[in-house]
Amino acid sequence: MTHEAFFYLACYLAGFLLCFPFGAASLEMLRLSLAGKRRPAYFVAVGSGLACAGWASLSFLGVRSIMHLLETPWIELLLLIAAALLVGLFAVLAFRDSRRHPSDASRAEEKALSLGPFGQIVKGILLGLVNPQTIASWVLILSLFKKAGLRVPEAGTAWLPFFAAVAAGYETFFLSVIQLARRLHFLRSAVSRARLQRVVAFLLLAMALLFAYAALRVALR
């Protein structure tokens, strides 16, 4: 029991640390938080954490066939195009948020909530699903755990606590991002918030361009 507890604790910490550096999901949560849309950001965090934990569970269960499927050129191309379009849209929204008047923040949150919790969770799931490289990351992590002498339980029923531990690690990081955006003192100024929103917008745009470039390379391969 003690060995299993250490294993799940290690999975929790790995899930948390894998979120560094910021990915598209974290940047979208930061964008929403800076725009005063904190509740939608929480729902996006839930969806993204579940999707990432789902990818990790596939590696834990030893589903190698899906890794080969995801390496199929047309599927890889579709995922990269979807990622480029989705992240590009968030970059545009971040630029728009940076130009929004502070008095519009409450109305912005109201409008964002019109999607409802389910819509925001689906958005988070999509952000997690466009990152299937998570499977490869967890294959490596589980291998390192074994080499370090950590006892990895047999798949079977152990996948559920594994899924929960990994999801908790991702969620902790995502919620920390949202809380950080709320607590930083220099963000109380509208000008400071607008500047950081523009930085987030440029990062999202750069990420979208990287996805587009990767899609182009796959198409020309």
Domain positions in the chain are 2-220
In the predicted structure, residue 141 carries a pLDDT above the cut 80: yes
What residue has token string 């190698």?
64
Considering only residues 43 and 143, tell me which one the structure prediction assigns the higher pLDDT. Answer: 43
Structure tokens at 81: 């195009």
Q: Which span out of 9-13, 65-69, 210-214 was modeled with the highest average pLDDT? A: 9-13
Which range (14-23, 148-157, 167-176, 193-202) has the least confidence?
148-157
Place of tokens 């519009």: 104
Q: What is the value of pTM for the model shown?
A: 0.77
**Residue 110 pLDDT greater than 50, yes or no:** no
> Nearest Cα to 168, choosing from 56, 58, 63, 34?
56
Percent of the chain past pLDDT 70, that is, above it, reads: 85
- Is 185's pLDDT higher than 60? no
Task: Please give the Cα distance from 135 to 81 (Å, whole number).
Answer: 20
Measured in whole angstroms, how far is the alpha carbon of residue 83 from the centre of its chain? 12
pLDDT at 10: 93
